[in-house]
Structure 1
Amino acid sequence: MGTALTARDILPEEANALLVGRVWDEKAGGPTPVLVDGEHLRDLSSLAPTCAQLLELQDLVKSLEDKTAFPLLGKLEDYLSGKSGKLLAPCDLQAVKAAGVTFADSMLERVIEEQAKGDPKRADEIRARLAPVIGENLKGVKAGSEKAAEVKKLLQEMNLWSQYLEVGIGPDAEIFTKAPAMASVGCGAKVGIHPISDWNNPEPEVVLAIRSDGRIVGATLGNDVNLRDVEGRSALLLGKAKDNNASCSIGPFIRLTGTGFEVEDIGTLDVSLTVTGDDGFEMSGVSHMAAISRSPENLAAQTLNANHQYPDGAMLFLGTMFAPTKDRRGAGQGFTHETGDRVEISSPRLGSLINWVDRTDRIEPWTFGLTALMSNLARRGLL
């Protein structure tokens, strides 16, 4: 999978960031919640056996003030190299949810997918026709606002309204299930593309860690791997386009709020994407969270509320403004992944999430679910 990762490759720029996560520890023989201490990891299983329980602690930040109170597990690089184990997604029992169509650029691309019916060769022509009209009207529009209602009326009169625009700037956000609990992969793992897809892309996103009471307690990065041709054929195929083996990556760690990094800071983050292929192809760009059409707090409130609870908390993808269009296989065919691609999603305050692309049927199957986790923790005396 390319060059082995180092701690410097994935950690945030700020040395004082309070980071928690999860590793598979070979010595313990199972998953272990961890605290990052410099370039070392400390074992938090005595505080909570799962990450979901860890994030539910009311005084978590205070409990982590003295890092030396927790046993030293080893060097982070020993888990990145596979010597002592591997990094896992920094969540376990939480529901993994995602908000769709939350940026103007991605709204336009979803409409293009819908119009193209999954055919990437038609995308450029449709983009040229729709971008000057829809794109201009969407700039600066906040979802659910009076301005959004005016734009909806205008586009309806022009017969350009779409189900994607409804969830993009209407009052109700699109909140869907990205992956089952325990199915997400972590930094350094392979991410999967279904072999039926010829038009797909990474979706670099900020991911909220939300407690069961709805409080946002941290943030991390995620790759909402997407099959554009499948969803373009029909929005009812969203599950097939989004939820496949290793199609959800989260990490490297959750940065906790309340230590110089606050919920308000999440809305100001910059998120970079770099894709590097074995064929010499490279694509990069930067997404600004300030351009989101709904605030992180609004999306969290639409996910957990009096009408819908998640007793183990939730991880919520906030959406992406990236819909890569750079031609790869030929003129007018746009971007799609090739196996072996290195995908790096990074933000200076959250670190870097790095994965390599392979086919879903070639990646190791997902077998360690909730039943296996409970059995493992019981065997280790942690329940």
Structure 2
Amino acid sequence: MRYYQLRRRGESTLAAVTESGAYDLSSVKPDLASFADLVSTAEIIDRPPDEIVTPLLDDATELSMEAVQANCTLPVDVDEVWAAGVTYQISEEARKEESNMAQMYIDVYDAERPELFFKAQGDRTVGPDDAIGVRADSNWNVPEPELGIVLYRGQPVGYTVGNDVSSREIEGENPLYLPQAKIYERCCSLGPCVSTDIADPHALEMSMTITRDEEPVYQETTNTAEMVRTCEELVSYYTRHNVLPEVAVLLTGTSLVPEEGFTLQAGDHVDIEVEDIGVLSNPVVSV
């Protein structure tokens, strides 16, 4: 099942999308106004979220997918976003190219411990159709399409699409500048929904299209099967010896990297699609 957080007529509501249609869960259970409301209820009564929702669908108000897509916001009210690096070979190659210290990325790719870093908190994260930002003090900025694991109190509860927007110029100058390359205004987007019924997160087709002046300037496809780390492994390292927020998203690494020399510009548009989840679409502004 796919869950969308909506903002309609000034109110926040939660919608469920199944093969048979889209349903406003808040119309039958007003206390289910967010995905966090749903998973917290599921934890209390020790039942999967989809089992709670299925009996509600018959009485819920039906919605058009057009209404869902036009009103969807961040799919989850996230407390913090973390991300993994160098989990795909193409990412290792790209970061070697940009850096003066290439060996460290080879070592991370082959190491037992993955690279994990803090990416953003909620107020630096945007949802579908909201603008992502590129740094005005960097001449080389790129989107990074990623599968995101949604966690509630440290436990995976679903998957979403993420964009880990980054300055390759700043990180390439010195790896110690990674926080500045990664963490800034509008540096991350998530959406359009949380999918709870993905059978295998390591076998999902992923694509990214970047449009400029209504013309594609980048368009590629890959598969999460190319990831050398498992989702379980990344979650294990993120949660160990850590104080966890109630709601978090862990991005699993970038699988599509525009060629060297390409940089995002204000006015561009980025569309990232992950199989069984949907399309995360964002315009680009300078920040």
Kindly indicate whether the alpha-carbon contact (under 8 Å) linking 2:129 and 2:281 is maintained by their aligned counterparts in 1.
yes
Asked whether the 8 Å contact 1:43–1:73 carries over to 2, the reply is no
* Structure 1 residue 311 displacement after superposition: 4.1
Q: Which runs of 5+ in 2 are unaligned?
A: none
Mean Cα deviation higher: 56-65 or 101-110: 56-65
Matches within 5 A, 1:53-72: 53-56=37-40, 57-58=42-43, 59=47, 60-68=49-57, 71-72=60-61
1:241-256 mapped onto 2 (5 Å cutoff): 241-256=181-196
**Structure 1 residue corresponding to 2:256, chosen from 297, 322, 337:** 322
> Amino acid of the residue matched to residue 283 of structure 1?
Y
CA contact (8 A) 1:35 1:43 kept: no
Q: Does 1:179 align with 2:120?
A: yes
Task: Tell me, in whole angstroms, the C-alpha distance in 1 between the residues paired with 2:128 and 2:251.
Answer: 16
**Letter of the structure 2 residue corresponding to residue 95 of structure 1:** E
1:324-380 CA-partner distances (Å, limit 9, x unpaired): 10xxxxxxx6211122212111123111111111112xxxxxxxxxxxxxxxxxxxx
- By percentage of residues, which structure has more strand? 2
The 1-side partners of 2:59 and 2:187 are apart by: 33
- CA shift in 2, pair 1:166/1:47, >3 Å: farther
Q: How far is 1:226 from its partner?
A: 1.0
Matched residues in 2 for 1:200 and 1:215: separation?
Answer: 32
- What letter matches 1:286 in structure 2? T
1: CA distance between counterparts of 2:34 and 2:22?
A: 22
Q: Which residue of 2 aligns with 1:51?
A: 35
CA distance in 2, matches of 1:228, 1:27: 38
- Equivalent of 1:42 in 6, 19, 25: 25
TM-score by length of 2: 0.88
Which of 15, 19, 35 is residue 2 of structure 2 equivalent to? 19
Distance 1:90 1:182 in 2: 14
Distance apart, 1:51 and its partner CA: 2.8
Aligned residue type for 2:224: M
Q: Does 1:237 align with 2:177?
A: yes
Q: TM-score, normalised by structure 1?
A: 0.67
Cα 1:55–1:277, aligned 2, differ >3 Å: closer, same or farther?
same
Counterpart-to-counterpart distance in 1, 2:164 and 2:247: 19
Q: Structure 2 matches for 1:40-119, cutoff 5 A? A: 40-43=23-26, 46-56=30-40, 57-58=42-43, 59=47, 60-68=49-57, 71-72=60-61, 74-78=63-67, 80-81=69-70, 86-115=71-100
Q: How far apart, in 2, do the equivalents of 1:293 and 1:210 lie?
A: 21
CA distance in 2: counterparts of 1:165 and 1:69, whole angstroms: 53
Q: Which amino acid aligns with 1:304?
A: T
Q: What is the percent sequence identity of the aligned residues?
A: 28
Instruction: Give the conservation status (yes or no) of the 8 Å contact 2:135–2:141.
Output: no
Q: Which consecutive residues of structure 1, in runs of 5 or more, have no partner in the other structure?
A: 1-17, 116-159, 326-332, 361-383
CA separation of 1:52 and 1:164: change in aligned 2, threshold 3 A: farther
Cα drift, residue 113 of structure 1: 1.1
* Mapped pair 1:347 → 2:274: yes
Deviation at 1:168, TM superposition (A): 2.1
2:264 equivalent in structure 1: 337
User: For residue 200 of structure 1, what is the aligned residue in structure 2?
Assistant: 141
Alignment of 1:3-14 (within 5 A): none
CA 1:52–1:42: 2 relative to 1, 3 Å? closer
Secondary structure in structure 1 of the residue aligned to 2:253: coil
Q: Is the 8 A contact 1:201 1:324 kept in 2?
A: yes
Q: 1:252 to 1:176 in 2, by over 3 A?
A: same
Question: Offset of 1:301 from its aligned partner?
Answer: 0.9
Matches of 2:36 and 2:119, distance apart in 1: 17
Q: Is the 8 A contact 1:346 1:353 kept in 2?
A: yes
Q: Deviations over 1:206-247 (max 9, x none)?
A: 0011231x4322111111111111111122222221122222
- Once residues 70 and 107 of structure 1 are traced to their aligned partners in structure 2, the CA distance between those partners, rounded to angstroms, is 50
Matched, 1:278 2:213: yes
CA distance in 1, matches of 2:123, 2:3: 17
Q: Distance in 2 between matches of 1:161 and 1:195?
A: 26
What's the secondary structure of 1:43's corresponding residue? helix
Q: Retained in 2: the 8 A contact 1:51–1:93?
A: no
Distance, in Å, in 2 between the alignment partners of 1:172 and 1:294 is 10
Q: Using the TM superposition, give the Cα deviation of residue 256 of structure 1 relative to its aligned residue in structure 2, in angstroms.
A: 0.6
Larger Rg: 1
Secondary structure of 2:91's partner? helix
Tell me the distance in 2 between the aligned counterparts of 1:250 and 1:164.
26
In structure 2, do the counterparts of structure 1 residues 161 and 246 end up closer, same or farther at CA, with 3 Å as the change threshold?
A: closer
Secondary structure of the 1:298 match is helix
Q: Is the CA contact (8 Å cut-off) linking 1:105 and 1:322 kept in structure 2? A: yes
Check if 1:303 corresponds to 2:238. yes
Query: Paired residues, what number?
Result: 279
Give the drift of 1:79. Answer: 5.4
